[in-house]
Amino acid sequence: MLSRLFTLTAFGTAAVLVGAAAGQAHHRSDDEVTAELETPALWADDDADADDPAIWVDEDDPEDSLVITTAKEAGLYVYDLEGREVQHIAPKPAPGEDDAPGRYNNVSLIHGFELDGDDVDLAVASDRGMDNLGIFAIEDGELHEVTDPDAGWIFSASQEEVNGEHTAYGLTTWQDATGAYALVSRNSETEVALLKLVANGDTVGWETVRTLALPAEFAMPDGSTWTTCDDPGEYAQVEGMVVDENTGTAYLGQELVGIWKVDANLTGEPELVDTAVEFGLPGAYDAETEECEYGENPGFGGDVLRTDIEGLTIYYTGGGNGYLLASSQGDDTYAVYEIEGDNDYLGSFGIADGDVDSTQHSDGADVVNVSLPDFDGGLLVVQDGDNTPEGTDESSTNFKFLEWEDVAEDSGLDLVVARERR
């Protein structure tokens, strides 16, 4: 486990990667990528807040594929390929009067999990309110909960700790010959836990394999020590995560810091792929205003990612190659990196007004490289954090669906359309 103090020269590879990424110009395309369609608005006044999508492909009937999404305190929403709601799953009720209810934060998929004698696909969601997972079997186009009720908390030792909200936050899943796993990050902490999913009769639980703590403090080139500015007792958390199962590499988006890569089994030393523009930005928390007061940016960060760094997803082009997409929430763009080699930065694109409105402050994202009805070359689904119509006082969020061929052709980044599915 790494200490909380990280020196850029401590890991030679990390320093090289940071330097290489930071030296590349930020190429944002002037061409316009637009979405094909969108899901219905989710309204903040209804405690519904769109967050993260996962695309489930029906191998037998692709037109019946689903987009499974989280909406925090409003639970899970499931949509068809036309963006219509086909299922809603409410979150768990609060266990006690003074306790928080369930809050589904991120969602990911497991394919062909052996459960009670059958191979089933699973949707796995992190539950920030309960500090555990919600696990659902996908059967006949519907989600059915199969969470082991005795699986327990992930990070907490008591309900009092759960109520402190340093609980399960970001999530991604991956599989290899040894089983099915989830990487789960911790709210307001730098920790990420590796969980192995375990069948128990007709339910699914988990066992903690190990945890990794990413740095919370960093030694800067001028000799100063920097930490992200946040409320007292809160550290630079991870949310967006994805695993390249071809290489067993996990990419972890530490929201105010940058993108790390590390073995998906959380062994070895993490390396920085890129840092946020605001990396090293001095800030002091003001208790009266409950906000951070920032100084001048010393320019130690990268050129591409504007905080928060959010959803990460991979589009595979074949032959072990592909693109890592990262939501740069602060400037409403998506940065694109190669997954092979040193993760070279290729450029960024935004999503403009078209058949539906543009996308801002995007959080979670997911992409598949198999053609689906009306989505040639694959489907990209992103969260829109500001779906509020012009001239209204209410706040809404939703999800945008994009055809990968359009992204490849209209982004101006010379991206490839997959010839084969990974």
CATH of the domain at 358: 2.120.10.30
CB atoms within 10 A of CB 10: 14
Residues contacting residue 232 through CB under 8 Å, at least 6 positions apart:
285
Is residue 311 within 8 Å of residue 298, measured between CB atoms?
A: no
CB atoms within 10 A of CB 127: 25
Q: Is 162 helix (H, G, I), strand (E, B) or coil?
A: helix
Q: Is residue 284 part of a domain?
A: yes
Cα separation, 322 vs 244, in Å, equals 10
DSSP 8-class letter at 12: H
Residue span of the structural domain in which 265 resides: 5-410
Cα separation, 353 vs 32, in Å, equals 8
Cα separation, 422 vs 415, in Å, equals 17
pLDDT the model gives residue 129: 98
Four-residue CA torsion sign, 70, 315, 382, 302: positive
Q: Is 318 helix (H, G, I), strand (E, B) or coil?
A: strand
Q: Is residue 256 part of a domain?
A: yes
Q: Is residue 418 part of a domain?
A: no
Q: Is residue 415 part of a domain?
A: no
pLDDT the model gives residue 3: 40
Q: Is residue 237 part of a domain?
A: yes
Q: Are strands 5-7 and 217-219 parallel, antiparallel or unpaired?
A: parallel
Question: How buried is 87 (Cβ within 10 angstroms: 0-12 exposed, 13-18 middle, 19+ buried)?
Answer: middle
Four-residue CA torsion sign, 246, 128, 292, 236: negative
Report the candidate in 248, 245, 249, 247 with the shortest Cα–Cα distance to residue 259. 249
Q: Is residue 379 part of a domain?
A: yes
Q: Is residue 422 part of a domain?
A: no
Is residue 324 within 8 Å of residue 341, measured between CB atoms?
A: no
Q: Is residue 149 part of a domain?
A: yes
Q: Describe the chain by its helix, strand, coil percentages, rounded to 5.
A: 10, 45, 45
Q: Is 394 helix (H, G, I), strand (E, B) or coil?
A: coil
pLDDT the model gives residue 12: 34
Structural domain count, the chain: 1
Cα separation, 183 vs 313, in Å, equals 14
Is residue 211 within 8 Å of residue 142, measured between CB atoms?
A: no
Q: 260 is written with which tokens? A: 């790390």
Q: E strand or H helix at 144, and its extent?
A: strand 142-145
In order along its 422 residues, the chain shows pLDDT tens digits of 344 444 443 333 333 344 444 445 556 555 689 999 999 999 988 899 999 999 999 999 999 999 999 999 999 999 999 999 999 999 999 999 999 999 999 999 999 999 999 999 999 999 999 999 999 999 999 999 999 999 999 999 999 999 999 999 999 999 999 999 999 999 999 999 999 999 999 999 999 999 999 999 999 999 999 999 999 999 999 999 999 999 999 999 999 999 999 999 999 999 999 999 999 999 999 999 999 999 999 999 999 999 999 999 999 999 999 999 999 999 999 999 999 999 999 999 999 999 999 999 999 999 999 999 999 999 999 999 999 765 567 789 999 999 999 999 999 999 999 975 65
Q: Is the peptide bond before 308 cis (omega within 30 degrees of 0)?
A: yes
pLDDT the model gives residue 45: 86
Four-residue CA torsion sign, 218, 361, 328, 376: positive
Compute CA distances 292 → 231, 256, 283, 285, whole Å. Answer: 8, 13, 6, 4
